[in-house]
Amino acid sequence: MFFINVNRQERAVDMPSDTPLLWALRDYLGLTGTKFGCGVAQCGACTVHVNGNPTYSCITSISAVVGKNVTTIEGLSARGDHPIQKAFLDHNAFQCGYCTSGQIMEAAALLRKNKNPTREQILASMSGHLCRCGCYNQIVAAVQQAAREV
């Protein structure tokens, strides 16, 4: 049994220590906003924050997050009104939506560290995230809008 802090709540997880955080979040805790994409940290769909840093939950074990703060898309904003979430809606920065939570979590971490990123900095930060629908220009525009609002 492990106790992990997820979205500002201590949660008990009864899974093997090497279980990927992704599966603890989705299957054990029912937090399905974090998506499984590739399982090898190549697409970014599973991105969450661990102590504020974007982290691929598909390759991070639950034992690695004991004593740390994990934030999922559900914990980013209780009402879904974080500036980056609103900007994604404003710019239609998604089509199928599968990559959206990972993209938003990455963008939120970027804007926490850099309040006024250049286009190149946004592209570099978001480079570990694949959007199969090709919404990259809308994603960059959404991040730029959110940067003006945070």
What one-letter code names the amino acid at 56? Y
Find the distance separating the first CA and the last CA of the chain, reported in whole Å. 38
Compute the C-alpha angle 41/134/49, nearest 5°: 35
Q: How far apart are CA 131 and CA 122, in angstroms?
A: 15
Q: Which CATH number fits domain 2-76: 3.10.20.30, 3.40.50.10610, 3.40.640.10, 3.40.1050.10?
A: 3.10.20.30
Q: Report CA-CA distances (Å) from 42 to 126, 127, 131.
A: 12, 10, 12
Q: For the segment 23-53, what is each residue's pLDDT rounded down to a tens digit?
A: 999 999 999 999 999 999 999 999 999 999 9
Superfamily of domain 83-149: [2Fe-2S]-binding domain (1.10.150.120)
At residue 6, what are phi and psi to the nearest 5 degrees?
-125, 120
Beta bridge partners of 54: 49
The pLDDT score that the predictor gives to residue 127 is 96
Q: For the segment 80-127, what is each residue's pLDDT rounded down to a tens digit?
A: 899 999 999 999 999 999 999 999 999 999 999 999 999 999 999 999
Beta bridge partners of 6: 9, 70
The pLDDT score that the predictor gives to residue 150 is 84
pLDDT higher than threshold 90 for residue 78: no
Domain ranges for the chain, please list them: 2-76, 83-149
Residues 6+ apart with CB under 8 A from 114: 121
What one-letter code names the amino acid at 146? A
Q: How far apart are CA 13 and CA 3, in angstroms?
A: 6
pLDDT higher than threshold 90 for residue 65: yes
pLDDT higher than threshold 90 for residue 64: yes
Q: How far apart are CA 103 and CA 136, in angstroms?
A: 10
